[in-house]
Amino acid sequence: MAQTPKSTPRPTSKGTSQKEQAAAQKRQAQVATERRMSAKQQREQQEQRRFMMIIGAVLGLALLILAGGITYQQVWVPSRPLAQVGSTTLTRRDYWQESRIAIAQEIAQNLQLLRLFGSDAQFSSQFAGRSPVLNQQVELLGSEPENEQVITRWIDGQIIEQGAASLSVQVTDDQINQALTQSYAAFLPPAPPLDSSTGVTDTLDLEDQTPPTPEAAQARDQVDQIAAEIYAGFIGELELTGVEPNLTQDDFRQALLEQQRRQSLQGAVEEQLVPEAAFSPSSEPERIQARQILFAVELPENPSQGVVDTAYAEALAAAEATLAELQAGTDFAELAAQRSDDAGSAQQGGDVGSFDRDGVSASGATYAPEFVAAAFALDEGELSAPVRTQFGWHIIEVTSRDAPDLEQQLREARRAAFDTWREEQRTALNATRIPAPTPDPEAAPSEDLPTPAPTFQPGPPTAPALPDGFDPQGEGLQIEGLEGFSQEELEGDELPLELEPPTTP
């Protein structure tokens, strides 16, 4: 068998082997370097990713906080409920709008009073220049705590609105417009004088002048005119201080209409609760006016019954003698000034002012029950027999016992019926303040204190000289054109709209 020849090994040299080893070592070094570079690069990339993640987390947290703050201020706060009546809720956003309306209503009423009674310096000083202050309150609505008066007014308005609906009582937009134009007629151009050629005088009697009810279309236009006039007056007061307005003309228009709507609804509810046809007026007065002559009895401390009887008997003799003179025709005021021991009424000819069945007088004094009972039992102009009280003997003459007229009695009966109905509706509709007011902590039980004995006066207090225009019967300063309104109405948060223009001299 033939043998395969063996391959001849390639000759190697020592130089070649060293080169290969060097090359291998070089490649190994490059690989190691590349690995180190790669590891370093990976570490740097990881650090960059970690840094970006931290930055991203910080930014994300900041954005989350910012978004949460915006959500809180723009969504949660405005939607937070403050009150509820039936199924209707007052949110904070609604409250801000209600507050704008309330401020606009107050400004409008101030300007109305200035338009009507601005010639009275004492009166106008209370309302002039109020617009800048009220205008600034609009800016603070978002940061100020809630005004409880605004919330209470909203609750009462909803009670009237929802309660009226349950009675099927409605008022139309035209009725509201027509009533508003009459209430704010001072902001409309005056009616043209009557044509003297017709034989009718062209002189207008402002004391008994009631603005005519306009047609529906005319009333709508006049509402816009009134809002424009009020807004112009508002801007005029702001320009004096260089303040920018925070209310618009439409705010005033809406404020006037909402206020008139509530008043008209209330009036319609009152008429349904107490119809005029079913109302029976009373002929008995709730207040009377009288005058007296007092024969005082002064007793020593801890007198015996005999001393008391003697003192009253002596005073009675003088009282009966004076009564005989009065019955004979002697002037009551003259004798009161000469003989009455009550200084407060003697200087007024014996006049003690008006007082109610509880003896509470317009001057603030409270008269003795025996005096009050005897006075209410008298007819007008009738003289009483001497009436004994703790002060002595009184001769009384009633000077006025006029019962309120039908209109006044009907108005008072309707207001009383409405107040009762409103409280019933408040319970039925579950009118609630949110959150509910925190109840006051219960006071520690205390011992029952004796009821103090009532303090009576023999007559009205002795008064110093009064300024011109002041009613001595305690009704306060009389401002022409405001005589028909109570002190509560003039000092309340809603001044009456039905203001008559003052009488011209």
The more confident residue out of 428 and 464 is: 428
Rounded mean pLDDT, 283-293 = 93
| pTM of the predicted model as reported, rounded to 2 decimal places | 0.65
Q: 378-385 — which CB contacts under 8 Å span 24+ positions?
A: 378/290, 383/323, 383/326, 383/327, 385/323
Distances, alpha carbon 87 to alpha carbons 79, 258, 325, 426, 432, in Å: 15, 20, 73, 13, 11
pLDDT of residue 70: 56
Residues forming beta bridges with residue 388, ordered by sequence position? 393
Instruction: Supply φ then ψ for residue 395, to 5 degrees.
Output: -100, 125
The more confident residue out of 330 and 492 is: 330
Distance of CA 109 to the CA centre of its chain: 13
Residues forming beta bridges with residue 477, ordered by sequence position? 470
Residue 290 tokens read as 């009288």
Distance CA 114, CA 186 (A): 10
Residue 100 tokens read as 């704008």
Residues forming beta bridges with residue 361, ordered by sequence position? 355
From the number of C-beta atoms within 10 Å of its C-beta (0-12, 13-18, 19+), residue 407 rates as exposed
pLDDT of residue 125: 81
Count of alpha carbons within 13 Å of 120, Cβ hemisphere only?
21
Q: Is 308 helix (H, G, I), strand (E, B) or coil?
A: helix
Distance of CA 258 to the CA centre of its chain: 15
Compute the Cα dihedral for 378, 384, 387, 392 and give only its sign: positive
Q: Are 219 and 227 in contact (CB under 8 A)?
A: no
Place of tokens 């509402």: 223
Express each pLDDT in 202-235 by its tens digit. 444 444 456 788 999 999 999 999 999 999 999 9
Q: Are 327 and 426 in contact (CB under 8 A)?
A: no
Q: In the chain, how many H helices and how many E strands? A: 15, 9
Cis peptide before 496 (omega within 30 of 0): no
Question: Out of 244-253, 260-269, 299-308, 444-453, which region has the weakest mean confidence (pLDDT)?
Answer: 444-453
Express each pLDDT in 437-487 by its tens digit. 777 666 555 666 676 777 899 989 875 544 444 444 444 444 444 444 444
Express each pLDDT in 112-131 by its tens digit. 999 888 788 887 788 888 99
